[in-house]
Amino acid sequence: MKIVIIEKDARVASELESVLAAQNQVLYLIGKVQGKKALQVHLKHMVPDAFFINSNQLTKLPEDFFSTVNELKAHVVLYGKSKKHALEVIQRNLVDYLSIPFESVAINRALQRILDRMKMQMIIQNTYKKASQTGAAPLGNTIMVYDNERLNPIDINKIIKIKAQGAYSEIYVQGAKKILTSKHLAVYERALNDKSFIRIHDACLINAEHVTAYKPGVNAKVQLKDNTYESVSKRKKKVFLNYFRA
């Protein structure tokens, strides 16, 4: 497991490194990062499996950090002296929140959770590979989705939106149907790249054909045919508007 520590305090970083090294796991600490520039290098060239991040560094991360982490299928553990950022773990479906001073039991628990997620990703990858080999990859206007222990064809035109749920995704289909799948949102974004789907924020991919209204402004939103609303992030707003101007 390749790990990157994002920590400004060298003493805390060294303490965490020591506790990690004492675990009965095959770990490779490939970096201790302080600034955005060094972090970008690790994201681009090192492809870490996991990040251990001091929660007070959250506001200093690049805007697209968590989006990039999701695309890399990497995992994030937060830690800190205060638990005020612990809610981030739930909101972003991160691995765990650790308290300082570090406890060996808590570290080991977090590492095991990372390994469990990595194992699940491998199962998902193998399932997707087998599905592709048997013609279950997206074809024409149909995509094969693993649901209820079997692959089922879904009409792409009937998909309203796909939302991220951590390492999983929820596909919202016409008829008030919602399917939880074991593939990451980034997988569907790539698979539907040549269709009418737009990523409007880190956790949501919408079918542009199901957009009924757009509310501009600081908190921009789109209304969809199922009468739900989804936020359009500032970073994705230009791509969204350009699609409809074309």
Backbone angles phi, psi at 73, to 5 degrees: 60, 35
Which residue's structure tokens are 């994030």?
76
Q: Where are the alpha helices (DSSP H) in the chain?
A: 10-21, 36-41, 65-72, 87-91, 104-133, 185-191, 237-245
How far is Cα 164 from Cα 182, in angstroms, rounded to an integer? Answer: 10
pLDDT tens digits, residue range 152-182? 788 899 999 999 987 788 999 998 788 888 7
Model-level pTM?
0.55
Q: Which two tokens stand for residue 50?
A: 């996991």
| Per-residue pLDDT, 83 | 78
Is residue 44 classed as helix, strand or coil in its secondary structure?
helix
Q: Which residues contact 8 (CB under 8 A, 6 or more apart)?
A: 34, 54, 56, 57
| Per-residue pLDDT, 129 | 62
Task: State the 10-residue block means of pLDDT for the chain, 246 residues long.
Answer: 88 90 76 71 76 88 82 88 80 86 91 86 65 50 71 86 88 87 83 86 92 89 92 88 76
| Per-residue pLDDT, 200 | 92
Q: Do domains 2-129 and 142-245 have the same CATH topology?
A: no
Could you please state the CATH topology (level 3) that the domain comprising 2-129 is classified under.
Rossmann fold (3.40.50)
| Per-residue pLDDT, 150 | 65
Is residue 224 classed as helix, strand or coil in its secondary structure?
strand
| Per-residue pLDDT, 22 | 86
Architecture in CATH for domain 142-245? Beta Barrel (2.40)
Cα-only R_g, the chain: 20
Is residue 20 classed as helix, strand or coil in its secondary structure?
helix
Q: Does residue 13 contact residue 32 with C-beta atoms inside 8 Å? A: yes
How far is Cα 90 from Cα 105, in angstroms, rounded to an integer? Answer: 21
| Per-residue pLDDT, 238 | 86
Spell out the domain ranges in the chain: 2-129, 142-245
User: How many other C-beta atoms are found inside a 10 Å radius of the C-beta of residue 193?
Assistant: 9
Q: Does residue 80 contact residue 88 with C-beta atoms inside 8 Å? A: no
